[in-house]
């Protein structure tokens, strides 16, 4: 894989994946990150890797729904592989504003597929890898796990848009022979996650002595996967997975939300005891737990059966939930400046400074593209 297009590389998992790639001794290729720089993007997350591998790691501001620009970039960079992370990813936002989800997750994926089909024709030495979610399978009862053969049953606008994109990706394989793979994974956690998802919301609120919001009764179950394990699974599928095949990725980390939040509180008590944190005003972290109104259509339980990935490609997760939680809490504590920047709107200012505002994407690839490339 010589030139890899990563979409959404300024996001949580995309940036972890790019850092993971450049840590692999055998990786000699080049990465081009296409990112629209939405609220969830964070250029700082790639600062170090971009500085260290200047010649091999480039970012371009690009909305994947912009067919013309995506086509031009395929021609300019001659990608051998696409790793497609870019998406609107937050379920709550999809409930209150589904439009962007339909645009980016469905139309954006379509635009990439079309560009890949045009650029690659009958090439078989290429790969289009699509990152999807276990949420496409719906909600489980007390028992059972999602397998790759579980029928799709998405419940939220987010998961419905991801399901639609999965179907499009597979359709391009069956219809046009595009060499695609898909991975459907469970809830990721780890460094650089945007503070809207459960884990960073709770962690940051706890440090600041604010309520820790738990939806409903807190008994919804998620299967937590450390983000670096997800990255290693994706790389394994790209290199060893069979075109036209789907692989589930899980962390053996089933836990109720209430248990997880208590686990974060325990990890914090060890690292920054509540007795030494003035914001707590004499309370313990767990005292901040607050049950709030439930999410509409809240899926009850997710659990992943990743035996296909283990059996066929020899992958399994390496970081247990207790260890992963400690690492994540420690990362946020020692990267508080990142948290402050992400929450302060500094990135909008950064965007203004570097790109002259959202409307001005005239400096495009193929033309005067320099202002877009970092
Ligand atoms: P994220 O929200 O942290 O990052 C998304 C990135 O995509 C951002 O950098 C954003 O600017 C970019 N983006 C959004 N719309 C774009 C567009 N139209 N054009 C170009 N770039 C655009 O997301 P994440 O949590 O890192 O998730 C990455 C992928 O993994 C998504 O496809 C998501 O569905 C999937 N996934 C996430 C999880 C999880 O737990 N976070 C679990 C399973 C699957
Ligand atoms: O399962 C994979 C999915 O995991 C990904 O496809 C999504 O992109 C990702 O956002 C994540 O979706 P969830 O909805 O499961 O993640 P979230 O962190 O929003 O919520 C996790 C659980 O915690 C869920 O049951 C809702 C609950 N929750 C969430 C928030 C933000 C709370 O109880 N309180 C909160 O404040």
Where do the domains of the chain lie?
Answer: 87-334
Choose the weakest-confidence range: 63-67, 210-214, 351-355: 351-355
Q: Which residues line ligand 1 (CB under 6 A)?
A: 7-8, 10-14, 34-38, 40-41, 63-65, 85-89, 104, 108, 131, 133, 162, 185, 187-188, 194
Nearest-atom index, ligand 1, CA of 63: 19
Check: CATH 3.40.50.300 for 87-334? Answer: no
How many whole angstroms from 336 Cα to the centroid of ligand 2?
A: 22
Which pTM was predicted? 0.94
Whether residue 275 is predicted with pLDDT greater than 70 in this model: the reply is: yes
Side-chain half-sphere exposure of 357, counting CA atoms within 13 A: 2
**Residue 51: which of 84, 18, 86 has the closest Cα?**
18
Read off the pLDDT band of 341 (50, 70, 90): confident
**Residue 49: which of 58, 39, 62 has the closest Cα?**
58
Whether residue 245 is predicted with pLDDT greater than 70 in this model: the reply is: yes
Mean pLDDT score across all residues of the chain: 92
Across the range 75-81, mean pLDDT stands at 97
**Residue 186: which of 244, 140, 251 has the closest Cα?**
251
List beta partners, residue 212. Answer: 289
Across the range 182-198, mean pLDDT stands at 97
Residues forming the active site? 134-135, 158
Task: Report helix, strand or coil for 248.
Answer: strand
Whole-number Å distance between alpha carbons of 162 and 170: 12
How many whole angstroms from 90 Cα to the centroid of ligand 1?
A: 9
Q: Which residues line ligand 2 (CB under 6 A)?
A: 89-91, 133-135, 186-187, 197-198, 201, 213-215, 220, 222, 257, 295, 302
Tell me what percent of the residues of the chain surpass a pLDDT of 70: 92
Whether residue 354 is predicted with pLDDT greater than 90 in this model: the reply is: no
């Amino acid at each position: 894989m010589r030139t890899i297009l990563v979409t959404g590389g300024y996001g949580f998992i995309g940036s972890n994946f790019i850092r993971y790639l450049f840590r692999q001794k055998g990786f000699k290729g080049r990465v081009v990150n296409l990112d629209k720089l939405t609220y969830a993007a964070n250029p700082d997350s790639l600062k170090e890797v971009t500085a260290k591998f200047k010649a091999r790691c480039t970012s371009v501001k690009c909305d994947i729904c912009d067919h013309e620009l995506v086509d031009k970039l395929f021609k300019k960079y001659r990608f051998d592989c696409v790793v497609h992370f870019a998406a609107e990813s937050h379920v709550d936002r999809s409930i209150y504003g589904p439009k962007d989800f339909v645009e980016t997750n469905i139309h954006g994926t379509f635009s990439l597929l079309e560009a890949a089909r045009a650029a690659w024709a009958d090439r078989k030495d290429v790969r289009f890898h699509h990152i999807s979610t276990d949420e496409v399978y719906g909600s489980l009862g007390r028992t059972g796990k999602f397998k790759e053969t579980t029928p799709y049953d998405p419940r939220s606008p987010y998961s419905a848009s991801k399901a639609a994109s999965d179907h499009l990706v597979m359709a391009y394989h069956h219809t046009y022979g595009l060499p695609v793979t898909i991975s459907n994974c469970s809830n990721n956690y780890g460094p650089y996650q945007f503070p809207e998802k459960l884990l960073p919301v709770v962690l940051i609120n706890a440090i600041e002595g604010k309520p820790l919001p738990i939806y409903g009764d807190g008994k919804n179950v998620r299967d937590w996967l450390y983000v670096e394990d997800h990255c290693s699974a994706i790389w394994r599928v790209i290199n060893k997975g069979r075109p036209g095949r789907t692989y589930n990725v899980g962390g053996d980390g089933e836990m109720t939300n209430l248990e997880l939040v208590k686990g974060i509180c325990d990890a914090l008590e060890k690292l920054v005891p509540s007795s030494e944190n003035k914001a707590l005003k004499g309370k313990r972290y767990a005292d901040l737990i607050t049950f709030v109104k439930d999410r509409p259509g809240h899926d009850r339980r997710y659990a992943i059966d990743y035996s296909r990935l283990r059996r066929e490609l020899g992958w399994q997760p390496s970081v247990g939930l207790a260890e992963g939680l400690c690492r994540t809490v420690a990362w946020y504590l020692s990267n508080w400046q990142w948290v402050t920047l992400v929450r302060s709107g500094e990135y909008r200012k950064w965007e203004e400074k570097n790109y002259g505002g959202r409307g001005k994407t005239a400096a495009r690839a193929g033309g005067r593209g320099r202002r877009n490339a970092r």
